Chains A and B, each alone.
Chain A
Amino acid sequence: MKVHRLVSTLIACGLLCASTLASAYDADWKRGRIYYRSVCTACHAAQAGGSIAPSTMTKAEWGAYLQKDKHAKGKDSVKQYVSKSYRASIRSQNKAADKFADLPDEELFEDLKAFLIKGAKDGDAPASCS
C-alpha cells in the first residue's frame, strides 16, 4: 500500500517535472500585464469597440480561447498579435511592443496567458479596467 503510494507519487512527480521542464518557462504575469494593456487593450479600445478586461471571462474560458487561438471570430490568430513580426510592425508607435521586441513568441504568449488566467473572473486577482 505504502509502496504503491510512493511509486505513484514519484511517477506523478516525475511527470510533473517533465511537463514543467518541457515548457521550461516560468511565465511572468507582469510582462503579460504590460503587453495586454498596451497592445491588446489599447487596440481594442481604440479600434475594436471597447475594453476587454480579463475579468470578463473565466479561467476556463480564457484557457479555451487561447487554446483555439482564434482572434476576431476566426479571421486571424491570437498568436499572430503576440508574434515578433507583429511587434516589429508596431514597435515604432507602441512602447510595449518595442520593449518586448526580441522576446521569443512562446514566452510572451505564456506571459499573456499567465496574466489572463490570474486576472480572470474566477482568477486569483480579477482584473477589471478602471
Chain B
Amino acid sequence: MERIYIFTRFERFWHWTQALLIIAMLITGFEIHGTYKLFGFEKADQLHVYAAWALITLWVFAIFWHFTTGEWRQYLPSFKKIDVVIRHYAWGIFQGEPHPFKMTRARKHNPLQAFAYLGVKILINPLIWISGLAYLYYNELEAAGVALNLGTIAMLHTIGAFMMLCFLIAHVYLITTGHTVTAHLKAMITGWEEDDAEPDKQTP
C-alpha cells in the first residue's frame, strides 16, 4: 500500500480551524437569522462577528499560502475523467470498486471534488464575505452613498449560508467514501493518505 504525504501542516491547520469557524458561524448565524434560540441574539451576534474576523484573517493567510506555494492550481477545473468519477459515486462505490482517481501530490482532488471546492471558493465564499462585510458596514456604505437594503444584504448572506450548509453536509459525508470510512479523515489529521492502488485485503 502506498502512502503519500498529501496535506501539509499549514493546510491541516487551515482546514480544521476553518471547519470549526464555519460550523460555529452556521450555528450562531442561523440563531441571528431567528431560526432558533441558543445563546441569545446578542451573544450569538458577538460570536458570529468574532468568528467572522478570525475566518477572514485565516483566509488572508490561506490565500497567501495558496499563491506562494502554487497550490491554487489544485482547483483548476478539469473535465478529464469526470464522467468516470461520477459513475463511481453513482454506481461503482456500491459495487465496492476502488476509486478511479489516483491522487497525487500535484493533483490532490478528483475532478468532481476540484469543481466543488472551486465553487466554494469563487461562489459561496465571496458571496458570504461580501454580503457579510456589507452587513457589518451597512451604515458606512450608506454614508458613502451606496444605499443598500439591509433585507437584501441579509437575504444574500442567508443564501450563502444555506449553500455553505449544503456543502458542509455533502463534504462531511464524502469524507467517509475513502477506501475505508475514516481514511480521508485520517489523512486530514495526519497529512498522510493511504492509497488503495494495490489490491488489498479489503477488496472482496
Asked whether the complex places CB atoms of A and B closer than 8 A, the reply is no
